[in-house]
Amino acid sequence: MPIPIGDPRIRLLKTAFVIYNHENLDQAHRFMEDFGLIEVERSSNGDQIFYRGYGPDPFVYLARKASTSSFDGAAYAVETRAELEKAAKIENATPIMPLEAPGGGEIVTLTDPAGFHVHLVHGVTERSPEALKLEKLTVNFEDDKPRKGRFQRFKPGPAPVFKWGHYGVTYPDGGYQMMYDWYTKHLALAPSDIVYLGEKPITVFFHIDRGDEFTDHHAFFFKRTKPEEKPHVAHAAFEVHDFDIQQLGHDYLTSKDYKLCWGVGRHVLGSQVFDYWFDPSGFIVEHYADGDLVNNASKVSHEQAGPQALSVWGPPVPPVF
């Protein structure tokens, strides 16, 4: 069953989109296309570009031209308009407003204790399913080889993005409980993993709580910022078809001389195969594939911080992580 009707939290359906501001929008645009996103709409003055994947979402990334590059929040789709009405009553929330974007709909924007925007949308018209033919590979194992007389052949190029899947932010020193309380009070998010430094919790991975319905292992996480840094977006992650598509995208981005952050490797928490890149504005974006699903019966794991909690194989963990 889904979460109970009387639950006071905002009932979330799924992740929707992220918003980034870029000083150099032209550079950001070239990267986004090489990263596997598709331009779907551009403002008349060219200062806003909406990008989609090949999934049903009308857009998954909004890039805006600005004097300073910055992150302007992430959006979740909610169940009903009543959820927007509920959200609009939260302290510092905006009123319900039209969503001036592909797919239309309405939006309410919240502000979390660290100052990050959380957008909630409803009434968005989804795209018709797209006939993008990405083969589900038949894999031969040492003791079971079902692929007989057929060959695996791949086409080099960008890794097509299916959807935006998750993001994370950092919180100021001493702000862990403040962030945890705010997100779990207002939004139907539930912890999948809690990471500790000694006995002190420092990072939480949250999934969208749909009761016994399975959802992605995490849609959101927060972690402690470094002492010399202000709170900032950690990264935004976009799902691709499988490991081979991911590796082809990795090779393509490498050929374009973009800056690699970390990858390709396999996470421990969430199990995703990951590949992190710096975009031209310095933001970290990720391709991921083969992630876990959880529900309200899944046990919350409690892990100690360190490289062993980040990857089971792959390159050494970079300082930014």
What residues does each domain of the chain span? Answer: 12-127+162-313
Half-sphere exposure (Cβ direction) of 81: Cα atoms closer than 13 Å: 8
Which tokens is 109 given?
Answer: 């924007």
Residue 134 pLDDT: 86
Residue 223 pLDDT: 93
Residue 22 pLDDT: 98
Yes or no: is domain 12-127+162-313 CATH 3.10.180.10? Answer: yes
Residues 6+ apart with CB under 8 A from 302: 193, 194, 196
The enclosing H or E element of 26 equals helix 25-35
Number of neighbouring beta carbons within 10 Å of residue 192: 23
Residue 176 pLDDT: 95
pLDDT tens per residue across all 321 residues of the chain: 667 777 899 999 999 999 999 999 999 999 999 999 999 999 999 999 999 999 999 999 999 999 999 999 999 999 999 999 999 999 999 999 999 999 999 999 999 999 999 999 999 999 987 767 788 998 999 999 999 999 988 999 999 999 999 999 999 888 999 999 999 999 999 999 999 999 999 999 999 999 999 999 999 999 998 877 889 999 999 999 999 999 999 999 999 999 999 999 999 999 999 999 999 999 999 999 999 999 999 999 999 999 898 999 999 999 888
Residue 1 pLDDT: 60
Residue 2 pLDDT: 66
Are 222 and 232 in contact, with CB atoms under 8 Å apart?
Answer: no
Q: What separation in angstroms does the CA of 304 have from each of 173, 175, 251, 301, 309?
A: 19, 19, 33, 10, 7
Number of neighbouring beta carbons within 10 Å of residue 135: 12
Query: Which has the closest alpha carbon to 162: 266, 259, 291?
Result: 291
What does 205-267 look like in DSSP terms, one character per residue? EEEE--TTS-EES-SEEEEEPPTTS---EEEEEEE-S-HHHHHHHHHHHHHTTPEEEEEEEEE
Are 245 and 239 in contact, with CB atoms under 8 Å apart?
Answer: no
